Amino acid sequence: MKTIIDARDSRLILNLKELIVYRDMLMTLTRRDFKVRYAQSYLGMLWVLAQPLVNIIFAYVILGAISTDMTQEVKLVYSSSAVALWTYFSFVFEQSGGSIIASQQMVKKIYFPRLILPISKALLGLVDFFVALMILIIMVLIMGYVPSSNSLFGVIFILITMIAALGIGLWISALSIRFRDFKYASPFLVRVGYMVSPVIYSSASITDGMSETFKFIYFLNPMAGAIEGFRWSITGIGEFSNMYFLSGITGVVLLLSGLIYFKRVERKMADLV
């Protein structure tokens, strides 16, 4: 079989067939990153537990100081559910954003779908996410807390988080090829995102009393709707808001536009890195 690689290929649509052909490489890169991440680490997987636990405690303390109308059990579940989503989003944001630059030697020497690099980071991030999710489940079981009947809808908000994280990761990774400053801007953008997303507070504490225009702008942040929707699905607190759909649409737009821009830059990546 003869494979023709043409840098002038004008297609901007994702080539799923090519990704399937290179699926073994995708899994190999994911396993490699996992091993490298914890190589020569004495505590090993304990580091995976430490980050979400610290974030959960911090969010719980802050939420406890802000909200006085929740029981301790609800506050803990409320905080943990937000941290579980944010842990995944922030990891993929930072790691996929620098994935092309970090693998520039491989990009220069061999051909493969460059999209594999940010996707491998998104897969690696699932390890931390599932750990945070398991912590949440264990807490719920220990406290005897009964999840809301809306829990099945939680899958939708997890999916929105994954879509938004990969979309932003694609944008940052492609922009970092042309403008290296974006690689250093990623940690700063993550911190800003943490502050404007309802991780340690509820969106209601920000949007109540505000105009519909302000609420519209606030929920353009995909993590605003994802976090609040996930909390609603787990705890049943509050009412479902149509603004959650707006956050979902933003996430889809980020992913589709990110794929298009990444595909455009991909033709010149070997020359730019």
pLDDT 10s per residue in the chain (273 long)? 455 445 455 454 556 777 788 888 888 888 888 777 766 566 666 766 777 777 777 777 776 666 556 666 677 777 788 888 888 898 888 888 778 777 777 877 777 888 888 888 888 888 878 887 887 788 777 777 777 778 888 899 999 999 999 998 888 888 888 777 777 777 888 889 888 998 888 888 888 888 889 999 999 999 999 999 998 888 777 788 889 999 999 999 999 999 998 888 877 766 666
Amino acid (one-letter) located at 249: I
Q: In angstroms, rounded to a whole number, what is the distance separating the alpha carbons of residues 60 and 78?
A: 8
| Continuous segment of H or E residues that includes residue 205 | helix 204-207
| Continuous segment of H or E residues that includes residue 225 | helix 222-235
**pLDDT confidence of residue 10:** 46
Does residue 130 fall inside a structural domain? yes
The CB density around residue 205, as the number of other CB atoms within 10 Å, is 11
Number of domains in the chain: 1
Is the model's pTM score more than 0.85? no
**pLDDT confidence of residue 64:** 63
Name the 3-class secondary structure at 240.
coil
Does residue 11 fall inside a structural domain? no
Does residue 6 fall inside a structural domain? no
Name the 3-class secondary structure at 12.
coil
Residue span of the structural domain in which 170 resides: 16-35+42-272
**pLDDT confidence of residue 73:** 67
Does residue 129 fall inside a structural domain? yes
Judge residue 57's burial from the number of C-beta atoms within 10 Å of its C-beta, 0-12 exposed, 13-18 middle, 19 or more buried: middle
Angle at 195 between CA 194 and CA 199, to 5 degrees: 60
Does residue 122 fall inside a structural domain? yes
Tokens 């460059």 correspond to what residue?
114
Cβ burial 245-266 (10 Å sphere, 16+ → b, else e): ebbbebbeebbeebbebbbebb
**pLDDT confidence of residue 7:** 47
Does residue 5 fall inside a structural domain? no
For residues 159 and 251, is the Cβ–Cβ distance under 8 A? no
Six-digit token pair at 244? 């959650």
Report CA dihedral (18, 186, 249, 11) to the nearest 10 degrees. -30
Does residue 2 fall inside a structural domain? no
**pLDDT confidence of residue 80:** 81
Report CA dihedral (29, 34, 37, 40) to the nearest 10 degrees. -110
**Residues, the chain, total?**
273
Q: In angstroms, rounded to a whole number, what is the distance separating the alpha carbons of residues 197 and 120?
A: 25
For residues 196 and 221, is the Cβ–Cβ distance under 8 A? yes
**pLDDT confidence of residue 5:** 47
Name the 3-class secondary structure at 147.
coil
Does residue 206 fall inside a structural domain? yes
Q: In angstroms, rounded to a whole number, what is the distance separating the alpha carbons of residues 160 and 247?
A: 8
Answer positive or negative: Cα dihedral of 216, 217, 222, 227. Answer: negative
